[in-house]
């Protein structure tokens, strides 16, 4: 459950967090942690790792809260920190690009038969199951709205690698969607 607060209440919370007020920090954590955990979990397959990254992200939020100048939403600022924390974790702990079988994403599937019967949770599960590199670029581009230039800079890869990872992620997702759809249709018959 997300706690609803007004803009002036949020401003006061931020000011109190700047003063290291633990009650205000807890309130900010309680308000934003469910959504931020979801963001971290989109990047990391392991829930415990996602939770650790989120907690580390909030430590960074509170230690760097003076850097938030009020330009844009506070939630957006927190979100960017969480994404960066997840990316840092991936860079430190994963080999993002060597775990992918190129043959898996070699051809464009025929997705004209795809219907709208899959739910959003099914789609998120498919994204979650992508190889790390594909999932990371897909999340950053399609969900977070980063440009290929920003992705390349954040991940230390070329823009072409980012575009390639996104293209392969889309092909793999389309294949998985078709497979899920066929399985669903067979179960309904």
pLDDT at 100: 44
* Cα gap 52→43, rounded to integer Å: 13
Interatomic CA distance for residues 166 and 108, integer angstroms:
13
Specify the domain boundaries for CATH 1.10.1740.10 within the chain. Answer: 7-93
Q: Please state the separation of Cα 156 from the chain's center in Å.
A: 18
Q: Which residues of the chain have pLDDT under 50?
A: 1-2, 96-117
- All CATH 1.10.10.10 domain ranges in the chain, comma separated: 102-188
Token code pair at residue 94: 């994963």
Cα–Cα dist 76/53, whole Å: 17
Among residues of the chain, what percentage have pLDDT more than 90? 51
Token look-up 């609803």 returns 4
Residues 6+ apart with CB under 8 A from 31: 2, 3, 5
Distances 10 to 16, 27, 64, 144 between C-alpha atoms, Å: 10, 10, 17, 23
Fold of 102-188: Arc Repressor Mutant, subunit A (1.10.10)
161-186 per-residue burial string, b: 16 or more CB within 10 A, e: under 16: bbebbbebbbbbbbbbbbebbeeeee
CB of 106 within 8 A of CB of 23? Answer: no
State the pLDDT at residue 110. 42
Give the domain 7-93 fold.
Answer: Rna Polymerase Sigma Factor; Chain: A (1.10.1740)
Return the closest-CA partner of residue 44 out of 83, 100, 97: 83
User: How far does Cα 54 stand from its chain's mean position?
Assistant: 11
Report pLDDT digits (tens) over 68-95: 988 889 999 999 999 999 999 988 886 5
* pTM of the complete model: 0.69
């Amino acid at each position: 459950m997300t706690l609803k607060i007004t803009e002036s209440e949020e401003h006061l919370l931020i000011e109190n967090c700047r003063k290291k007020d633990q009650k205000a920090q807890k309130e900010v954590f309680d308000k934003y942690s469910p959504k931020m955990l979801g963001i971290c979990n989109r990047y990391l397959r392991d829930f415990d790792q996602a939770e650790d990254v989120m907690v580390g992200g909030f430590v960074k939020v509170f230690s760097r809260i003076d850097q938030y100048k009020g330009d844009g939403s506070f939630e957006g600022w927190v979100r960017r920190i969480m994404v960066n924390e997840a990316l840092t974790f991936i860079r430190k702990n994963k080999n993002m690009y060597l775990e992918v079988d190129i043959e898996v994403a070699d051809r464009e599937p025929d997705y004209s038969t795809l219907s709208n019967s899959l739910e959003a949770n099914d789609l998120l599960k498919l994204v979650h199951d992508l190889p790390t590199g594909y999932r990371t670029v897909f999340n950053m581009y399609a969900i977070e709205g980063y440009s290929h230039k920003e992705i390349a800079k954040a991940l230390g890869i070329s823009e072409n690698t980012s575009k390639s990872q996104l293209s392969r992620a889309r092909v793999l997702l389309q294949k998985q969607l078709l497979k899920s759809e066929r399985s669903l249709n067979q179960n309904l018959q």
